[in-house]
Amino acid sequence: MHCLNVELGERSYPIIIGSKLLGDSQYLLPYIRGQQICIVTNETVAPLYLQQLLKGLSSFDKVDVVELPDGESFKTLDTLNRIFDTLLEQRHNRTTTLIALGGGVVGDMCGFAAACYQRGVDFIQVPTTLLAQVDSSVGGKTGVNHPLGKNMIGAFYQPRLVLADMDTLTTLPDREFSAGIAEVIKYGLICDEPFFSWIEKNIDALLSRNPQALAYAVDRCCRDKAEVVASDEREAGGRAILNFGHTFGHAIEAVQGYGRWLHGEAVAAGMMMALELSRLQGDVDDDLLVRVRSLLTKAQLPQQSPADMTVDHFLQAMRVDKKVVDGKLRLVLLRALGDAKVVDDTPREKVIEALKNCGAK
C-alpha cells in the first residue's frame, strides 16, 4: 500500500493506493465524520463494486445509493439534480459524507454535488478507472458540462480522502484503460522526464495491467499532480500545465458530442497537436514526437484529429475554452521533455498549421 498527501493547508488530504482496499473499513472510517453516507455511482460500476464498498460501511445508520446512468453525456445539471433529490428525500444533513464510486464523470459530479449541497459537505473519491485514479480524482476540480462547453459549471472542492484500489482496474474495458494511459503519459511529458523513460521501459507491463507496475504509475502520477496542485490550487497559473493536450482535446469532445470520444482519447490526439505545435515553434524535435507516437500506438490511442473535423471546428470550439483570457488563446506547450509552459501569444497561423499536420481539414 502506498500513501501520499496532497498538501493544501486545512484542505490537505491523503491518497491511499493499493489492493483489497474497497471492502476494508479501516481506510474509510477515519474520514467519515457523521452518521449519514450517500454513495454516488453508476449502472456499470454498481454491479461490480457496490457490495464490496457497502461491506466496509455496515456500521453506519444510513447509507443511501444514487445510481446514475453511465457516460460523459449524462454529466449535466439535470443528472446532478438527481443526487440532490436523493439527499433531500433521505434528509441528509450537513454532516453527511458523499462517496464517489466510479470514474471521472461520477467523481466530478459527486464532488460538485458535495460542494453545493447545503453549501458544502464532505466527500470521498473512490476512483475505479485508471483515468480517475491518476488524474480526475485528485486536485479538487469538480463540475458538469454545458451543451456549449465541457466542465463549464463547477467548483474547486477537495475530497477528504482518495482511495484508489488497483483491483478495480481488472474489470476496466480496454478502451477505458487506454484512455487512462494517455494521462499517465501526460505527466511524463509535462513535468517528469525520468517517469517518461520509465513508461517507455514498462509500457508492456502497464498494458498487461501488471498490478505492481500500475500501483507505481498511479502513485507517481498522483505525486506529480499533488505537487502541481499544491502550488496553485485554483489554477491562477502553474496548474494550467495539467491541461497539456486538453484545449485541443476538449474541442474534439465538444464537436464530436460528449461521449463519442473518451476524454483520454481526445487528450491523446490533443497532446500530439500540442507536441506538433511545440515542434513548429522550435522547442522540441521530431524525435520526441516519434517516441510519444510509439507509446500511443502501443496503447491503441488516436494521434490525429477526427476525420470529419476542420480547422475552423477547432478554432471555434477553443474560443469558449476556459483557457481563453481576454480574447487570447492560452495553450500549454513543451519547452522540452518534462518541461511544460503556458503560452498565450502563439501565432494563429502556427496553430492552424499544427492542426492541419495532425489531420484537421
Between strands 62-68 and 97-102, the pairing is unpaired
Cell 483520454 maps to which residue? Answer: 264
Minimum distance from residue 280 beta carbon to a copy of itself (Å): 26
Q: Which helix (H) or strand (E) holds 312?
A: helix 311-319
Cα separation of 283 and 336, whole Å?
A: 6
Residues 133/176, Cβ–Cβ less than 8 Å: no
In the complex, minimum distance from the CB of residue 86 to a copy of itself, in angstroms, rounded to a whole number: 10
- Answer whether 249's CB lies under 8 Å from 267's CB: yes
Would you say 141 is a known binding-site residue? yes
84 binds a copy of itself (CB under 8 A): yes
User: Minimum CB separation from a copy of itself for residue 315, in Å?
Assistant: 13
Q: Is 76 annotated for ligand binding?
A: no
Cα-Cα-Cα-Cα dihedral of 99, 141, 265, 278, to 10°?
-160
Amino acid at 187: Y
Residue 249: CB minimum distance to a copy of itself, A: 17
115's enclosing H/E stretch is helix 104-116
Measuring CA to CA, which residue among 122, 129, 118, 119 is closest to residue 41?
129
Considering only residues 154 to 193 of the shown chain, the ones binding a copy of itself according to CB under 8 A are: 154-156
By CB under 8 A, tell whether 77 contacts a copy of itself: yes
290 is in an annotated binding site: no
Please give the size of the binding site for a copy of itself, defined by CB under 8 A: 37
- Decide if residue 89 touches a copy of itself (CB under 8 A): yes
Which CB, 132 or 317, lies closer to a copy of itself? 317
| Catalytic sites, residue numbers | 119, 141, 183, 225, 235, 239, 243, 246, 250, 263
Is 94 among the residues that bind a copy of itself (CB under 8 A)? Answer: yes
Confirm if 269 and 252 have CB atoms less than 8 A apart: yes
- Of 14, 23, 71, 149, the one binding a copy of itself (CB under 8 A) is 149
Binding site annotation covers 310?
A: no
| Rounded Cα–Cα distance for residues 50 and 192 (Å) | 35
* Secondary structure (3-state) at 79: helix
| Residues 15-44 close enough to bind a copy of itself by CB under 8 A | 34-35
What is the H or E stretch that residue 163 is in?
Answer: strand 161-165
Smallest separation (angstroms) from a copy of itself to the CB of 127: 20
By the rule CB under 8 A, 93 interacts with a copy of itself: yes
Please give the annotated binding residues, written as ranges: 70-75, 104-108, 128-129, 141, 150, 168-171, 183, 246, 263
Which positions lie near a copy of itself, rule CB under 8 A? 34-35, 77, 81, 84-85, 88-89, 91, 93-95, 115-120, 141, 143, 146, 148-149, 151-156, 234-235, 319-320, 322, 324-326
